[in-house]
Amino acid sequence: MKVLGFESSCDETGVALVETRPGGVPRLLAEALHSQVDLHAAYGGVVPELASRDHIRRVLPLARQVMQQAGCTLAEVDLVAYTRGPGLAGALLVGAGVAVALAAALGRPALGVHHLEGHLLSPFLAEPAPEFPFVALLVSGGHTQLMQVEGVGRYTLLGETIDDAAGEAFDKSAKLLGLGYPGGPALARLAEFGDPAAYALPRPLLHSGDLDFSFAGLKTAVMTQHRKLGAQACNQSLADLAASTQAAIVDVLVAKALKALKATGSRRLVVAGGVGANLRLRERLNAGAAKLGACLHYPPLALCTDNGAMIALAAALRLQQGLAALETDGAFEVRPRWPLAELSGAVLVPA
């Protein structure tokens, strides 16, 4: 069975084709992605209306590109999947509208996918794929959560951020330092030239005794330190502040993730979401997991950010487990705000 997936929740337009294999993990046949970074850079952040319009321009050419790369025709597609939410309402409507219309034209069912479940399952596109159960660190611009994953749709929330997400802390700190958009990667690049111990920044909730996160206070501390530098700020002091900021975020993420492994007795950690591409975070997690004798799994580096492959994959895995409520009447809805706990077929309760 072949699943065509569309992702348009924010500022990336992604399309991918995934094929299910009897008794095996679905495999990626082809994928294409367009990032809107250049479009939004002048505004220092995502402009929802511009994002929606760009999705309209990009989605069909990307779909044609994917089918050509895969050497398949649309007639071979068995299911069309799309991101139902969460995300920007207008952006979601573009992907959903195209996907459902295409499914209706082909006489095929459609399936709306939860964006976070796509991220959560994306490491199954890597080799070797993880095995259930595992602990998952879902860390992105909008979400920071730790979950125990027993299987597709079987998630236990272990901890989450009570304010800013880790990716948001990266981006906002980068903006305070006058770095470009997107801020997270820019801050990480500058941090390579700095001293991570140069400034004593807080590690919020590091010793809280639970698995929750908080990064709003760190952002405030970065702003305060930047103001102290004032006119004396130079390239090296900014690099030091960037490195210290990254170190603070990474310290908290690593400590909480390793604590989750110990608390659950799990020996597998899955890391997903855009911040999972941060090399310093990967180095620290790899070292910490090795000491615990745990295995780490990441999605392919190119699939850490939003992409169509994770949406097609999540749809395929849900279908394999009998958790998919297929849409065949051409109707659809999007869920800009959609807690993972409300996902149909999921079992998600506080730890």
Mean pLDDT of 258-287: 97
The two tokens of residue 338 are 């959609």
C-beta separation of 169 from 249 below 8 A: yes
In this predicted model, what pLDDT tens digit does every residue of 92-103 receive, in sequence order? 999 999 999 999
Q: Give CA–CA dist 101/259, Å, rounded.
A: 46
For residue 344, pLDDT over 70 is answered with: no
| Spatial distance between the Cα atoms of 346 and 233, rounded to a whole number of angstroms | 50
Q: 3-class SS at 225? A: helix
Q: Cα–Cα distances in Å, from 339 out to 35, 36, 225, 331?
A: 25, 26, 35, 22
Domain ranges of the chain: 2-122+303-350, 133-298
Tell me the percentage of the chain whose pLDDT exceeds 70.
98
Query: Is the per-residue pLDDT at 348 higher than 70?
Result: no
Query: What are 284-319's pLDDT values in tens digits?
Result: 999 999 999 999 999 999 999 999 999 999 999 999
pTM (two decimals)? 0.94
Assigned CATH topology for domain 2-122+303-350: Nucleotidyltransferase; domain 5 (3.30.420)
Q: Of residues 323 and 60, which shows the higher confidence score?
A: 60
**Confidence class of residue 349 from pLDDT cuts 50, 70 and 90?**
very low
Query: Would you state the pLDDT for residue 350?
Result: 43
The reply to whether CATH 3.40.309.10 applies to domain 133-298 is: no
pLDDT band at 346 (very low <50, low <70, confident <90, very high): low
Question: What confidence score (pLDDT) does residue 341 get?
Answer: 76
The rounded distance, in Å, linking the Cα atoms of 58 and 101 is 16
Equal CATH topology for 2-122+303-350 and 133-298: yes
Share above pLDDT 90 across residues of the chain, in percent, rounded to a whole number:
87
